[in-house]
Chain A
Amino acid sequence: MEYKTLTEIKEAIHSKKLSSCEITKYYLEKIKKYNNKINAFITILENQALDKAKKIDDEIVKGNIKNLSGIPIAQKDIFCTKGIKTTCGSKMLENFISPYDATVIEKLENAGTIMLGKTNMDEFAMGSSNETSHFGDVKNPWNTNYVPGGSSGGSAACVAAGMSPCSTGTDTGGSIRQPASLTGICGIKPTYGRVSRYGMIAFASSLDQAGVFTRTAEDCAMLLNEISGYDSKDSTSSNEPVPNYLEECRKKFKPVKIGLPKEFLDGLEDSVRKIFDDAVLILEKSGCRIKEISLKTSKLGVSAYQVVAPAECSSNLSRFDGVRFGHRAKDVSTIDELYKKSRSEGFGNEVKRRILVGTYALSAGYYDAYYIKAQKIRNVISQEFREAFDEVDLIIGPTTPDSAFKIGEKLDDPIAMYLSDVFTVSTNLAGLPAISIPMGLKNELPIGLQIIGNHFDESKILSLSHHYQQITDWHSMMPNMETL
């Protein structure tokens, strides 16, 4: 099968060289073949996908073709899907069948996509390695001894392994960009408020954003066109008009001024530094001006994030109490017991840890020192970005300080785990859009380049990414799945 990108698949479907059923069957076969080794999927929707593919093909024959008709997609199991299990990677929602569709799901379904399944993820989106899922670890298709990153590990791995041409993810502190970096694919986190959060199970409400994984920046643009836009069901979604991202990124490339924060180079390992320098050189050769800037407070992003995210999640997860849905403990005799047992049985250790930290940070006597302080740091970080964007159009750096780490390596050291998010968290705190695109391999493991834009500047980001992908080949590389 020669089709790898959405652009290619779409063209083939429109020109009737390919049917939805054919392409869907192709990916379902891949899933059957590789998912045992990768564990990217929690739920595979074979019958449903084939049914929809058939319907789409019938519609196409009648001349009804939508923007994404026939495109298979994997959905992160954090998005509520009506009538289908939505587990959020947790025992708490192991058997939860959502009675409604998330807005993102609705939009993609209406655009004609075919849902292949729900992907594995760190429990309640809390994690950077997909090692906290109730449904087992996800493996990095490049080397199954290594993590794919998290929390959207399953969504990243299935695209990297060729089990799906694209997938959705969510990014709260880097949960799209970091796995994209570690698995060698493109992953974009839009501006906060660009995409509706309705139906996306909340982790940290002021940081969460839905985004996508694809093989190319162009494909990102194609999907972003469909999922972006104001949703009256989400009070935090923005009214900002949605440009045609695909058209914008395909326009003739105009070189931009790019900022390189010196803090993003701090302590970078030599081989990673070399890969990054090569990428910078290519951008310079394209006519872009690289300017050194300073984002002094970005390092404190991790600290601030480790207060804000747990605080918000400690409250967001209070609804999981065993009463109306979700896991309910048996043999309890008081309401207090019901709560404590259901939650203790239903949540994993990382989730419990974050709930405790968050509860502590909000509690009387600590609120000012922790929560308020963190929100102030957030303001400082945002201010620094604002000033930087007065001078430059985009900001770049490596997405992660290193390539993938081994499974189990950081599990016992939560701090080490949190620090792997150091380059990504500040963009969530500031609500800025950012993408990770592949820029090289270190010891046969991918590593990504992060491009950060100002609010609602996704077009600029995609344009630069697309241009980079026309003069480099990193985005085409795929792991050898046969050797797994």
Chain B
Amino acid sequence: MDKKTILKIANLAKIEIDDSKANEIKTNLEKILNLVDEMNQVDTDNIEPMSHPLNLKQYLRDDEVTENNKRDLFQENNKNTADGYYKVPKIID
């Protein structure tokens, strides 16, 4: 894992990495990946990946409106709103 990869990953995850900390992070991540590599001890070629521990099917909800307007409650502690909108620094597309 090189520094460039770490910075790319950090950017995808929107986390700042201090240049001074980058090496420490790299070392830690490598250790974890070594631990993870132990999985290769087992041959899993004919095994299906398992996403859920139980064999359940998705419940389907009836198409009904069950929620009403709670905007005031949700925006109660948020100073970064105006006229009901959430505000973020302007984005130029």
A–B interface present (Cβ within 8 A): yes
Chain A interfacial positions (CB closer than 8 Å to B): 95-97, 99, 191-193, 206, 232, 235-236, 238, 297, 300, 302-304, 306-307, 314, 318, 321, 323-325, 328, 332-341, 343-344, 347, 352-353, 355-357, 359-361, 363, 370, 372-380, 382, 414-415, 418, 429-432, 455
Q: Mark B1-40 against chain A: 1 for CB-CB distance below 8 A, else 0.
A: 1000110011011111000000001001101110111111
Among A335, A343, A360, point to the contact of B15 (Cβ < 8 A). A343
**Chain A neighbourhood of B51, CB < 8 A:** 206, 375
Q: How many residue-residue contacts, CB under 8 A, span A and B?
A: 152
In the bound assembly, the distance between CA atoms of A341 and B25 in angstroms comes to: 18
B28 to chain A, nearest CB (A): 6
> Which of chain A's residues have a CB closer than 8 A to the CB of B50?
375-376, 378-379, 382
The interface residues of chain B lying within 8 Å CB-to-CB of A302 are 35
CB contact between A357 and one of B12, B29, B73 (< 8 Å): that residue: B29
Known: A297-B42, A306-B32. 11 other contacts (CB 8 A): A99-B74, A303-B38, A304-B39, A318-B13, A353-B25, A357-B33, A360-B1, A374-B36, A376-B47, A429-B53, A431-B54
Q: Once the chains bind, are B54 and A97 in contact (CB under 8 Å)?
A: no
Number of chain B residues close to chain A: CB under 8 A: 48
CB proximity of A124 to chain B, nearest CB, Å: 14
User: Given A353-B25, A357-B32, A363–B39 Cβ distance below 8 Å?
Assistant: no
Q: What is the CA–CA distance of A473 and B57 in the complex, to the nearest angstrom?
A: 44
Q: Considering the complex, give the chain A residue whose CB is closest to the CB of B41.
A: A300
B interface residues, Cβ below 8 angstroms from A = 1, 5-6, 9-10, 12-16, 25, 28-29, 31-33, 35-42, 44, 47-54, 56, 58-59, 61, 70, 73-74, 76-78, 80, 86, 88-89, 91
Beyond A306-B35, A378-B50, is A99–B88 a contact (Cβ under 8 Å)?
no
Contact A192 B78, beta carbon cutoff 8 Å: no
Instruction: Check B35–A418 contact: CB distance below 8 A.
Output: yes
24 inter-chain pairs at a CB distance below 8 angstroms, sorted by A residue, are: A192-B54, A206-B53, A235-B58, A297-B42, A300-B41, A306-B32, A321-B14, A323-B86, A328-B80, A338-B88, A344-B15, A355-B15, A356-B10, A359-B9, A359-B12, A373-B40, A375-B51, A376-B44, A376-B49, A377-B44, A382-B53, A429-B53, A431-B53, A455-B54
Known: A99-B73, A335-B88, A363-B9. A380 touches B42 (CB 8 A): yes
Chain A residue nearest to B81 (CB atoms) is A324
Q: Which residues of A contact B78 (CB under 8 A)?
A: 324-325
Chain B residues within 8 Å of A307, by CB: 36, 39
Return B61 CB to nearest CB of chain A, in Å: 7
Which 9 residue pairs of A and B lie closest in terms of their CB atoms, listed nearest first? A431-B53, A375-B49, A376-B44, A339-B14, A379-B50, A344-B16, A376-B47, A359-B13, A378-B50
